[in-house]
Structure 1
């Protein structure tokens, strides 16, 4: 277990710790979409986008509740509501099956520890809350509301938790940040970090069009070399079985 950050402890014990900021990431990689949405609450809108650990969080009306542990022996079942004013989340829900199965990551820190804060400190944050979108319960022109389930709460799920697929790599791949003009590697599993980008057919392309085909021939060999030892997130040793 990582030792608590000293600066965070001092801030939490202070009578004037500063503003506690909640930062949210919706990670679509669990539903096999290489995309993330990073946003923060309406309370921070006057400050504009916030940056922490190199990630830019866009101001958005969001209300999250029910994260607290109750001591009753059950995991929290929080709820999150997101403004539909920009139609961004509405489009995402339509494209990706209401985001069911996607991951929500909540990070809390004090404003002073943000990248542009008074005392920037990427390590000064409380333990992340990680949940999965379980059910969409409201979708109107004003807001979208979901029930969440704890990422560790797997009761009723079939094993193995990871799909066993022979020829397709399911590892999370890097993504291009247009604002920073750089690749983001947070949470990625694929080891490729080369300068050259390739499209899903294995052809050289620009960084903003970088997309893995997830096949050994048109993805791994193109990026790492045909004779290299290839990191591959599939299960090539699984035999084909005809039923």
Structure 2
């Protein structure tokens, strides 16, 4: 079944909005939420999380506007306003440079195709809207507001699109869960899968629970890669030149 045939049915039903805020490009995680009104209705039951394609979307106060584009004139710059009463969004802004560069995807999914519905088809959704956070425009104890832009319409973007730190590697390292290794995924994952283990000071260890990367070129990366190329995520060449 396709979306075109599905929406023409008499029982097409409601459409649900879901948001992915992918911060992996700026060394964070993926924040998933389903929007609820910024001003809650006290008489309504508390909203429940939504599951789609195996991912849980937690309810969060949110509103957005400016997604539509008629194919003429400048590209749209949607505005995304997210509830901040728990200060969780403020914390993310502090940790990840106001989330600038994070990828925002707005999904619009027919309610009957959410996980758990009798005839759910996870492949059916409207064309997703994909934008990049250009700047934070408002922040207070109630909301944080972001201006979005398309990847080809972000003015003044510098390369690299992250902070240049000389001696620190931001890549996410594997962890031991008590029985096996858990390896991170995505563009910020450290590729190391070797048997040699070292603690956070670079000392050899036989205990996988103590295996920690020092996040430094010498006692972290070079210990694990004594020969060949180093997947170090920092910028060692950014050191000040001394003549």
Q: Classify the TM-score, shorter chain.
A: 0.5 to 0.7
Matching residue within 21, 30, 38 for 1:26: 21
Equivalent-residue separation in structure 2 for 1:199 and 1:54 (angstroms): 35
Indicate the residue corresponding to 2:49 in structure 1. Answer: 49
Specify whether residues 86 and 234 from structure 1 end up closer, same or farther in structure 2 by C-alpha distance, changes over 3 A only. Answer: closer
SS at match of 2:132: strand
Normalising by the residue count of structure 1, what TM-score does the alignment of the two structures yield? 0.67
Say which SS state the counterpart of residue 17 (structure 1) adopts.
Answer: coil
Q: Rg bigger for which structure?
A: 2
Moved more, 128-137 or 152-161: 152-161
Render the CA deviation track for 1:144-192: whole Å, top value 9, x for unaligned: 11111112324443567799999987778899xxxxxxx7977557595
Partner of 1:104: 104
C-alpha spacing 1:162/1:60, structure 2 compared with 1 (3 Å): closer
The alpha-carbon distance between structure 1 residues 155 and 85, as it changes in their structure 2 partners (threshold 3 A), is: closer
Tell whether the 8 Å contact from 2:12 to 2:110 is kept in structure 1 after alignment: yes
> Does the residue aligned with 2:86 lie in a helix, a strand or coil?
coil
Q: Following TM superposition, by how much is the alpha carbon of 1:64 offset from its aligned partner in structure 2, in angstroms?
A: 1.2
Deviations 1:74-125 (A, max 9, x none): 2110001011122211222233332222221222211222222232323222
TM-score (norm 2): 0.67
**How far apart, CA to CA, are the structure 2 residues paired with 1:62 and 1:163?**
29
- Superposition pairs for residues 74-223 of structure 1, below 5 Å? 74-158=74-158, 188=187, 190=189, 204-205=208-209, 213=215, 218=220
Q: Which runs of 5+ in 2 are unaligned?
A: 38-43, 176-181
Structure 1 unaligned segments of length 5 or more: list them: 1-5, 176-182
- CA positional deviation for 1:140: 2.1
Cα distance, 1:48 vs. partner? 0.9
